[in-house]
Amino acid sequence: MATRLCVVGSVNADLTFTVDALPRPGETVLASSLLPSPGGKGGNQAVAAARAGATVELVAALGTDGAAAQLRGHLQANGVGLKGIATIPGPSGSAAILVDAQAENCIVVAPGANGHLSLSSPVTQAVVADSEVVLVSLEIPLDTAVAAARIARSSGAVSILNASPAPHDPTELAQLFDVVVVNEDEAAPWTDRPVPHLVITRGSQGARYVGQQRLDIASPAVEAVDTTGAGDVFAGVLAASWPEGVEHALARACAAGALATLVHGAGDCAPYSEAIEDVMGAS
């Protein structure tokens, strides 16, 4: 059965600059290419989960600019349900992304409409409540993330937090979410908190699970060209696969995250379920 997943998060119009080396403060560098693409952690996660076989609704905010229609079209084309999309007068979110020759990136986000996302409408609340799994990331107001976790708890859904960007104070979030997904460099604030399921992503090393048991799952080896969005693909596929058991969900998420690094740009880098199963079958 396909997982009924609600993703609550950002949608951005990305501009990706490919450079030899990331600039130091005060330095100007020339890019060898410039790629506009759909992005935003919420949108990327929703697309990844839909391609992995989940039935997905996205709760997000778009602006009234030209980017909004393109972003909406990309989500629709990937089978993501848009009942929970709000339109906020003004610009959509956007992101400037630099990717270097080692496939590492740095990202600056202008939140635009994402900064006004709320769960105040009954329609949006119903979209969250009518889910089996709720996946939340943090390029949206903290109150909205907290509200999503509360609705998930009262409706009996599993709540998963992708703690990115890193919050200033994780205390309340750690008490509200069932699962926290965090990258290794930002994991320290979470390891001493009462999170029932902690998933630590370790880039090309795979992922670590800390819960009632401890698991280390390896990622398939790949020649990465761009790691942007790989964490979003990992989180989306993990959420889509969570009802099938932790170990299987982690293995699927690691395989999907590795495949995502083979494609430039974030919004279109998620693999389809056949490719994920092929990689898992081969390892």
What is the binding site for ligand RIB (CB under 6 A)? 10, 12, 14, 39-41, 44, 95, 107, 109, 139, 228-229, 231-232, 266
Residue 283 assigned to a binding site: no
Question: What are the structure tokens assigned to 174, written together?
Answer: 């750690």
* Element containing residue 83 per DSSP (H, E): strand 81-87
Question: What are the structure tokens assigned to 18, written together?
Answer: 């490919």
Residues whose CB is less than 8 angstroms from the CB of residue 207 and which lie 6 or more positions away in sequence, other chains included: 199, 200, 201, 216, 217, 219, 234, 250, 253, 254
Our CB check for ligand RIB shows the closer of 10 and 241 to be: 10
Our CB check for ligand RIB shows the closer of 13 and 157 to be: 13
Our CB check for ligand RIB shows the closer of 76 and 171 to be: 76
Question: What are the structure tokens assigned to 42, written together?
Answer: 């919420």
Our CB check for ligand RIB shows the closer of 44 and 124 to be: 44
Residue 83 assigned to a binding site: no
Q: Closest separation between CB of residue 179 and ligand RIB, Å?
A: 18
Q: Closest separation between CB of residue 121 and ligand RIB, Å?
A: 23
Q: Closest separation between CB of residue 22 and ligand RIB, Å?
A: 16
- Which of the residues 100, 130, 169, 232 is marked catalytic? 232
Residue 90 assigned to a binding site: no
* Element containing residue 48 per DSSP (H, E): helix 41-51
Torsion of CA 208, 50, 125, 211, to 10 degrees: -10
Contact 41, 137 (CB under 8 A): yes
Coil, strand or helix: which one is 141? coil
DSSP at 257:
H
Residue 203 assigned to a binding site: yes
Query: 232 an active-site residue?
Result: yes
Q: Closest separation between CB of residue 140 and ligand RIB, Å?
A: 11
Mind telling me the catalytic residues?
232
Query: Residues annotated as binding site?
Result: 12-14, 40-44, 139, 183, 201-206, 226, 228, 231-232, 260, 263, 265
